[in-house]
Structure 1
Amino acid sequence: MTHTPAPSPWITRFAPLLPASGQVLDLACGQGRHARYLQARGLRVTGVDRDAAALRALQSDTAGEWLLADIENGVWPLEGRDFDAVVVTHYLWRPLWPRILASVAPGGLLLYETFAQGNEAYGKPSRPDFLLQPGELLQVCAGWSVIAYETGLLRSPERVIQRIAARRPQGGSPLPAAPLL
């Protein structure tokens, strides 16, 4: 197996909430640190990334569905599909919020962790386009059951993050009543 960084403690903390043999989407999966971890837990994983080399490495030693797609500029490759969980780390493209939320099946989980405002003091990303605004994940998940939410400075390496574990309601729209940022 290719050496990849350890999965985020946020993802490992909430992975036990996922149904045995459930279907998980790892969006912007990169080298597959979460895909590999979740698959080792018996979950069926679909990974999407625009980095062909990273996906080739993942395909070479990990079973799963690996989709090469530029989700910011191209066609959404998962139209009409939903998953027991959607995992997103270190990725933010606000125009995709509706698609990400719609990809979580009713009763499913969203596990999201990325950089937040204040991170510019510690390095990249530093552009506001790539940093969550205060409380943004809570607004995005309005109407969902928030299991946990954290924001603040982490060490080793120092970075400012925001993260949420939220369950989509069983019925109704995946989108919050309030407009997204």
Structure 2
Amino acid sequence: MTCPQTAEAHRLPPSHGAQAPSAWIARFAHLVRPGGTVLDIACGLGRHMRLFHAQKHAVTGIDKAPDAIEAAASMGEAIQADIESHPWPLAGRSFDGVVVTNYLWRPLWLQILASVRPGGVLLYETFAQGNEAYGKPSRPDFLLAPGELLQVCAGWNIAAYEHGLLRGPERVVQRIAAIRPDGAAPCVPAPLQG
């Protein structure tokens, strides 16, 4: 279950991450405390790192592709790691904002949630069930179930949530902007029912 955009040989297509930031991430970037730290998981070439770096945030990106890390290094801390097959390289670290787009590896839910410090924000957007009608990814392993991000963020303050069809290109996504309550510990998401 790897990121559908990450090639088997850990090389990125020339356009991966080079496009404009996600409109969802840009829309809710203001929720990250001014000057706060931001972690971009599966950062690609750093389109979201670039967005937050321009807003004077200290940024950290993590990706397994050497091309991604090389591109991201000019904006901040860049960590090359296979987070699906090896230990989480950021154990004990937390950030004011955590960004995840076009990536889903459910065994990392606890690490992702724990990476958001109390009062920090999780900005997450990836493919969801229904996307199989429009192309890849189409395997259930890569598609969020209806309400899955709401379940994962149960107990957090939900600033916004959507699940639906986007155009240009057509795709079905689920996305959330969720703020970890002060003093709240991340919980282990329960398996989805049904």
1:102 aligns with 2:114: yes
Q: Please list every run of 5 or more consecutive structure 1 residues that lacks an aligned counterpart in the other structure.
A: none
Residues 42 and 63 of structure 2 are in contact (CA less than 8 Å); yes or no, is this contact kept in structure 1?
yes
1:163 aligns with 2:172: no
Q: Please list every run of 5 or more consecutive structure 2 residues that lacks an aligned counterpart in the other structure.
A: 1-14
Shift of 1:21: 1.1
Shift of 1:57: 2.2
- Choose from 56, 69, 72 the match for 2:70: 56
Shift of 1:179: 1.7
> CA offsets, 1:73-120, max 9 Å, x none?
012110000000100000000000000000000010000000000001
Residues 94 and 116 of structure 2 are in contact (CA less than 8 Å); yes or no, is this contact kept in structure 1?
yes
1:44 aligns with 2:55: no
Q: Please identify runs of 4+ aligned residues in structure 1 that moved more than 3 A.
A: none
* AA in 2 matched with 1:115: F
CA–CA distance in structure 2, aligned partners of residues 163 and 108 of structure 1: 17
Q: Look up the match of 2:44.
A: 30
* AA in 2 matched with 1:97: W
1:139-178 counterparts in 2 under 5 A? 139-175=151-187
1:77 aligns with 2:89: yes
What SS class does the counterpart of residue 45 from structure 2 fall into?
coil
Shift of 1:63: 2.8
* AA in 1 matched with 2:180: R
Residues 61 and 72 of structure 2 are in contact (CA less than 8 Å); yes or no, is this contact kept in structure 1?
no
CA–CA distance in structure 2, aligned partners of residues 99 and 58 of structure 1: 21
Residues 33 and 120 of structure 2 are in contact (CA less than 8 Å); yes or no, is this contact kept in structure 1?
no
What SS class does the counterpart of residue 151 from structure 2 fall into?
helix
Q: TM-score, normalised by structure 1?
A: 0.94
Residues 49 and 75 of structure 2 are in contact (CA less than 8 Å); yes or no, is this contact kept in structure 1?
no
Residues 110 and 167 of structure 1 are in contact (CA less than 8 Å); yes or no, is this contact kept in structure 2?
yes
1:128 aligns with 2:140: yes
Note the aligned Cα RMSD (angstroms).
1.4
What SS class does the counterpart of residue 11 from structure 1 fall into?
helix
Residues 40 and 99 of structure 2 are in contact (CA less than 8 Å); yes or no, is this contact kept in structure 1?
yes
CA–CA distance in structure 1, aligned partners of residues 129 and 35 of structure 2: 36
Residues 100 and 123 of structure 2 are in contact (CA less than 8 Å); yes or no, is this contact kept in structure 1?
yes
* AA in 1 matched with 2:190: P
- Choose from 97, 100, 103 the match for 1:91: 103
Q: TM-score, normalised by structure 2?
A: 0.88
